[in-house]
Amino acid sequence: MLNLGSMRRAGVSLPQGSAVLAGRLTVLLILCATLASVALAQQTVHLEGKVRTDAGETIRSGVTVRLESDEGQMVTEQPANSEGAFDFNYVRKMDYVLIVTAEGFETYQERLDLSIGPMIKVCDVRLRPTHKVTVAPGAAAPRTDSLAPKTAKKEYEQAVSDLAAKNLDGAKTHLEAAVKEYPCYARAQTDLATVREAQHDLPGAETALKKARECDPDYIDSYIMLGQMLNSEKRYADSEQVLQEGMRRSPGSWQFYYQLGVAHFGLGQYAKAQSEFERVPGLNPSPPAELHVKMADCYLKEKTFDKAYSQMDEYLKVDPAGRFAAKIKDIMQRMKASGVLSQPQAVKQ
């Protein structure tokens, strides 16, 4: 680089205004670099967020956050950290599909329009635990299956393939086509509700489930799903009514007692909740591990601390690395230290 001071000391004469020109060039270069940086910032977005359970609890590990294009091509992917946080810097402004997965939770999918708006986008992701709905042995298939026209059945079959591939948008399109062909297609309405709920369209999901029940009052999946969804919305009285009706039609389905326990607990009816939860193992020898947590909560409310402690201990045996494990261990230690347990429980390791 030319050094103007050295040139002067060496007796090299400079044209008048050269120093001013050099200064202007330096300023111009700085300005160009600044404009380039601004241009890059204007073309990109900073995307960040946090992943939690639907109860607001942090998921410490196993969370994967992915951005895909509208065509389903992966753009970028990263694991959430131990606090459930994720951070994508310099994401190009365009439309994306945000997909979040975690073991034991339903897949979260949300369409993001990042082509316009602020330079920073913050997402609050809530994951729901997976609760598979299973029909009691011997339960009949929905009668509307045999009444659905071939065109509706074909759309439903394509939707099932999309669901298996976790393509919620594709599944939704085919399910909506199926129920347009045959509005009383109870199975399709129920699966459509599943997709709508996953995409946070709760009113749409509720409408589909009510239509399924109206068309086929004996299709119990719709009762279980609606009761579960109403519980998640804290509409416990509405949930209880739906679940009681479904249970009368299929008293051998354990999910009704599980969800009724959730509803009664939400209503502050802890003895009733306890009674419902206690019936689940007799109908399902391998119930969700969370059942032990819910039973422990009931026993704590009833101040039967030894039973609560035993249920927590059972939870740790079934799922020692489960999402409630750390919290359960802490509560058990505090129970032993507080003296609320009988002597055998207090010395139990």
**Tell me: the pLDDT tens digits for 247-264?**
998 999 999 999 999 999
Residue 273 lies in a domain: no
Residue 342 CA to residue 336 CA, distance in Å, equals 9
Which pairs with CB-CB distance under 8 Å and at least 24 residues apart come from 260-269?
260/227, 261/294, 261/298, 262/231, 262/236, 262/294, 263/227, 263/230, 263/231, 263/236, 263/237, 263/239, 264/236, 264/240, 265/294, 265/297, 265/298, 266/231, 266/234, 266/236, 267/236, 267/237, 267/240
The residue type of 186 is A
| Rounded percentage of the chain residues whose pLDDT exceeds 70 | 81
Of 60, 94, 127, the one marking the end of a domain is 127
Average pLDDT over residues 80-109: 85
Residue 159 lies in a domain: yes
Average pLDDT over residues 103-107: 77
Same domain, 148 and 263: yes
Residue 106 lies in a domain: yes
Same domain, 169 and 230: yes
Same domain, 252 and 172: yes
**Closest C-alpha to 100, from 129, 119, 80, 120:** 80
Same domain, 71 and 86: yes
Residues 109-162 pLDDT 10s: 787 888 877 778 888 888 877 654 444 444 455 677 888 899 999 999 999 998
Of 268, 300, 330, the one marking the end of a domain is 268
Same domain, 294 and 263: no
Same domain, 17 and 102: no
What tokens were used for 72?
A: 């389903």
Same domain, 252 and 145: yes
Domain hosting 325: range is 289-349
For β-strands 108-113 and 95-102, DSSP reports them as antiparallel
Mean residue pLDDT of the chain comes to 82
> What's the number of CA atoms in the CB half-sphere (13 Å) around residue 50?
10
Q: 72: domain CATH number?
A: 2.60.40.10
Residues 316-347 pLDDT 10s: 998 888 888 888 999 999 999 988 888 655 54
Phi, psi of 80 (to 5 degrees): -75, 150
Instruction: Give one word for 242, left, alpha or beta, with left for phi > 0 and alpha for psi -120 to 50.
Output: alpha
CB atoms within 10 A of CB 51: 25
Res 37: pLDDT:
42
Same domain, 37 and 48: no
What lies within 8 Å, CB to CB, of 170 at 6+ separation is 158, 159, 162
Same domain, 167 and 55: no
What tokens were used for 310?
A: 């035993």
106 pLDDT tier (thresholds 50, 70, 90): confident
Same domain, 146 and 264: yes
Global pTM value: 0.61
Same domain, 191 and 224: yes
**How many distinct structural domains can be found in the chain?**
4
Residue 284 lies in a domain: no
Phi, psi of 341 (to 5 degrees): -95, 155
Residue 310 CA to residue 296 CA, distance in Å, equals 8
What tokens were used for 117?
A: 């708006």
Same domain, 195 and 216: yes
Q: 211: domain CATH number?
A: 1.25.40.10
